[in-house]
Amino acid sequence: MTKKIETDFTRLMGCELPLIGAPMFLVSNVEMVVAISEAGGIGTFPSLNFRPIDKYQKALSEIRKRTKKPFGVNIIVNRSNLRQDQDLKLALDAGVNLFITSLGSPAKVIKEAHANGAKVICDVISLDHALKVQDLGADGVVAVGAGAGGHAGPISPLVLIPWLKEKLKIPVIAAGGIARGEQMLAALALGASAVHVGTRFIASLEAGVDEAYKKAIVDSSPEDIVMTTRISGTPAAVINTPYVQKIGLELPLPLKLLKQNPRTKRYADLVIHYLGMKSLEQAADQPTWKTVWSAGQSVGLVHEISSCETIVKNFVTEYFDAVNRLPK
């Protein structure tokens, strides 16, 4: 039986542990979501991991058949995601408990999720955005700090978490560099209600990526993580492979100019997202010299490939070990 760690977030979601398996593009799958939720956390996945849309609908159905525990879906809410309305409807029909929004306004997701009894938390990297989503009715924010994989924020979690906690009335979920239970304890001590864990779950038995990607997570150090705008136009953390070094970390000048022009920005974003998705797909499924692997600085704390259940159990053990090590 899972040893409970109760917080505002676990009470909100009806789960045993304040731990979200972060939705990771091309990594999160049905097996991961079910395993994390069954272990006491909340498994989540990006809706766009399943294409075409009938595969997404099938995945939602399969997860709900395999677990009665809460699980979540990440929906990108900017204009480049042409599937967002359909993805939201299918998720609501399937009884999804939690929505994580990113890269845009969550207003519609919040309205429709709340009408269905679901909760919504929103990725934020700044106080301004956090206050906006709170005003829209968000149930919490994912405070994405420095050290996170994917679209990391610039502010240290040591500052970002208590700063947002001080200014907001809704729960703050800590994201960025968290791979162990003692870091979960530290995040809760800073005022977080839960942690959002991504990179650690890439090195899992359930992750549906090539073994070379998992091995790269285990073998890399925090110094191997660099920020690049080449993937989506927004700074994203990746492992500094030879291919990443070759192409550089900035957008090509023509795309950068198109992105800066208000009249062409939307089309530039579509092109950048499409090319970035293709690069990540190839790297996740068929590593070549064109390898682009998304990861955060917590790679330095990942030393083996384990099951998602074991990873969650280790978080709990490490959490209570750290509690016992604190000065009395």
Q: Is residue 143 domain-resident?
A: yes
pLDDT, tens digit, for every residue of 5-27? 999 999 999 999 999 999 998 89
The total number of structural domains in the chain stands at: 2
pLDDT, tens digit, for every residue of 30-77? 999 999 999 999 999 999 999 889 999 999 999 999 999 999 999 988
**In which domain, by residue range, is 321 found?**
8-208+301-325
pLDDT, tens digit, for every residue of 220-233? 999 999 988 766 55
Report pLDDT for 263: 61
pLDDT, tens digit, for every residue of 277-286? 555 444 444 5
Check whether residue 61 and residue 125 sit in a common domain: yes
| Contact assessment for residue 156 and residue 134, using Cβ atoms and an 8 Å cutoff | no
Check whether residue 55 and residue 76 sit in a common domain: yes
Check whether residue 104 and residue 179 sit in a common domain: yes
Check whether residue 25 and residue 110 sit in a common domain: yes
The enclosing domain of 130 has a CATH number of 3.20.20.70
For residue 257, pLDDT beyond 70 = no
Please give the Cα distance from 297 to 50 (Å, whole number).
27
| Contact assessment for residue 48 and residue 81, using Cβ atoms and an 8 Å cutoff | yes
User: Parallel, antiparallel, or unpaired for β 225-228 and 42-46?
Assistant: unpaired
pLDDT, tens digit, for every residue of 126-164? 999 999 999 999 999 999 999 999 888 999 999 999 999
Q: Is residue 79 domain-resident?
A: yes
Looking from the CA of 315 toward its CB, the CA atoms found within 13 Å total: 34
Check whether residue 113 and residue 258 sit in a common domain: no
Report pLDDT for 288: 46
Task: Please state the pTM of the whole predicted model.
Answer: 0.88
Report pLDDT for 270: 53
Please give the Cα distance from 295 to 202 (Å, whole number).
8
Check whether residue 54 and residue 159 sit in a common domain: yes
Mean pLDDT computed over 204-230? 92
Check whether residue 105 and residue 149 sit in a common domain: yes
Report pLDDT for 235: 75
Check whether residue 192 and residue 86 sit in a common domain: yes
Give the Cβ contact number of residue 108 at 10 Å: 16
Check whether residue 171 and residue 60 sit in a common domain: yes
Looking from the CA of 189 toward its CB, the CA atoms found within 13 Å total: 11
Angle at 30 between CA 220 and CA 106, to 5 degrees: 85
Q: Is residue 213 domain-resident?
A: no
Q: Say which residue, 164 or 291, is predicted with more confidence.
A: 164
- Concatenating the DSSP letter of every residue in 208-222 gives -S-HHHHHHHHH--G
**Residue 273: pLDDT band with limits 50, 70, 90:** low
| Range in 80-94, 285-299, 306-320 the model is least confident about | 285-299
- Concatenating the DSSP letter of every residue in 225-245 gives EEEESTTTSS-EEEE--HHHH
pLDDT, tens digit, for every residue of 171-197? 999 999 999 999 999 999 999 999 999
For residue 1, pLDDT beyond 80 = no
Average pLDDT value for the chain: 88
Q: What is the torsional sign of CA 250, 200, 169, 188? A: negative
For residue 258, pLDDT beyond 70 = no
Report pLDDT for 15: 97
